[in-house]
Amino acid sequence: MRIILSYPAVTAISLLLSISTPDFACGANLYQAPTQNTSLSERVSDELSKSDIFAPAIKYKIHSRQNELLVSTYRDPRANLTDLKIDALLITHAGMKVTDNSKLFPKLNRVSVYFFDRDDNSKYWLAEVNPALIDLLRSNHTNKDEALEKVSLCRLTLNNPLDHYSGSSYQEMTESFPLSPGFLEPERRILLARIMRLKENGRDVSSLERLFLQMDDSIRSNGGDSGIKPLYVYTLQMLEAKEKNKLSALNNEQIQK
């Protein structure tokens, strides 16, 4: 007889196993050093795919920035608020397993997970594991309940001002995309180039263009890092979904030929 565990049961069991492992000793024995061409986000994604933290239907995107992980995903309809905290801790465990045993990556010290609503993508829950909690996890000086209590969780909305474009038509807004200096500037430059590449190939990127404009407007309005991070990682997730759809369409065309 096959026993099927509920979503909370699976995540709780995984959390107990991860936190009860002193200094991630098991991870140290199994870990293999990544190549120079492998990014931290790719390594953590590999760890997450092995642990089945996210159901196959739940898409997610990880962006690594120095010693921080930014994760964009959708909230599983079965997950309650405690489950969101558990997921954040499990992602943190995966990140620590990679960075604590690597000479290529700095040790992880912050994880921010953005759980976007499926019905309204402008709203999300932010589950954040701060440096102090990561230090406690790393030293094994906390238990499951204490760790869950220390994960911050808040309900937020994406910045959507576009104040600098008031009175402009959409065509005027997108004729010449700005790239204001500031937070995540190199990443935003690459992001814009990828969006323009899709547009040149005839893809509808209007939603991506608007998200990019929101980011730039937030930066020019002296928006804090906390408001720009979710916009960036969500735009990145949407972009990669469109790129994959384009690749699938090209493969189907080749098969038909």
pLDDT of 164 reads: 59
Measure the N-to-C terminal CA separation of the chain; round to a whole number of Å.
46
Do 110 and 59 fall within a single domain? yes
Largest Cα span, the chain: 64
Do 24 and 60 fall within a single domain? yes
Look at residue 160 and give its three-state secondary structure.
coil
Q: Tell me: the pLDDT tens digits for 136-189?
A: 999 988 899 999 999 999 999 887 666 655 666 656 666 667 788 888 999 999
Q: Please determine, for residue 42, whether its predicted confidence score (pLDDT) is greater than 80.
A: yes
* Mean pLDDT (the chain, rounded): 79
Of 157, 179, 214, the position where a domain reaches its end is: 157
**Most confident stretch, 10-19, 41-50, 105-114:** 105-114
Do 100 and 195 fall within a single domain? no
Q: Please determine, for residue 228, whether its predicted confidence score (pLDDT) is greater than 70.
A: yes
2 domain-assigned: no
Q: Please determine, for residue 17, whether its predicted confidence score (pLDDT) is greater than 50.
A: no
Instruction: Reduce the secondary structure of 62-93 to three states and give it as a string.
Output: EEEECCEEEEEEECCCCCCHHHHHHHHHHHHH
- Structure confidence at residue 202 as a pLDDT band (50, 70, 90): very high
Q: Please determine, for residue 29, whether its predicted confidence score (pLDDT) is greater than 50.
A: no
Of the chain, the percentage scoring pLDDT greater than 70 comes to 73
Cβ-defined contacts of 53-56 (< 8 Å, 24+): 53/11, 53/14, 53/87, 53/90, 53/91, 53/94, 54/87, 55/7
pLDDT of 230 reads: 92
- Structure confidence at residue 56 as a pLDDT band (50, 70, 90): confident
Do 125 and 19 fall within a single domain? yes
What is the spatial distance between Cα 163 and Cα 95, in angstroms, rounded to a whole number?
37
What is the spatial distance between Cα 77 and Cα 62, in angstroms, rounded to a whole number?
21
Of 157, 184, 215, the position where a domain reaches its end is: 157
What is the spatial distance between Cα 186 and Cα 58, in angstroms, rounded to a whole number?
28
186 alpha carbon, distance to own chain's centre? 18
Q: Contact 92/137 with Cβ under 8 angstroms?
A: yes
Do 179 and 86 fall within a single domain? no
What is the spatial distance between Cα 12 and Cα 31, in angstroms, rounded to a whole number?
24
Do 91 and 11 fall within a single domain? yes
What is the spatial distance between Cα 225 and Cα 66, in angstroms, rounded to a whole number?
14
Among 23, 27, 68, residue whose Cα is nearest residue 46: 27
1 domain-assigned: no
The model's pTM: 0.75
What is the spatial distance between Cα 132 and Cα 136, in angstroms, rounded to a whole number?
6
Do 149 and 22 fall within a single domain? yes
Do 27 and 152 fall within a single domain? yes
Where does residue 63 rank: exposed (0-12), middle (13-18), buried (19+ CB within 10 A)?
buried
Q: Please determine, for residue 38, whether its predicted confidence score (pLDDT) is greater than 80.
A: no
Instruction: Decide the pairing of beta strands 110-116 and 68-74.
Output: parallel
Total domain count for the chain? 2
Do 36 and 94 fall within a single domain? yes
Amino acid at residue number 225: D
Q: Tell me: the pLDDT tens digits for 82-112?
A: 999 999 999 999 999 999 988 889 999 999 9
Do 22 and 145 fall within a single domain? yes
Among 220, 233, 7, residue whose Cα is nearest residue 121: 233
What is the spatial distance between Cα 179 and Cα 250, in angstroms, rounded to a whole number?
31
Do 153 and 173 fall within a single domain? no
pLDDT, mean of residues 123-148 = 95
What is the spatial distance between Cα 129 and Cα 120, in angstroms, rounded to a whole number?
25
Of 101, 131, 157, the position where a domain reaches its end is: 157
Residues 6+ apart with CB under 8 A from 117: 74, 75, 123, 124
- The residue segments making up the domain with residue 222 are 163-256
Do 48 and 150 fall within a single domain? yes
pLDDT of 110 reads: 96
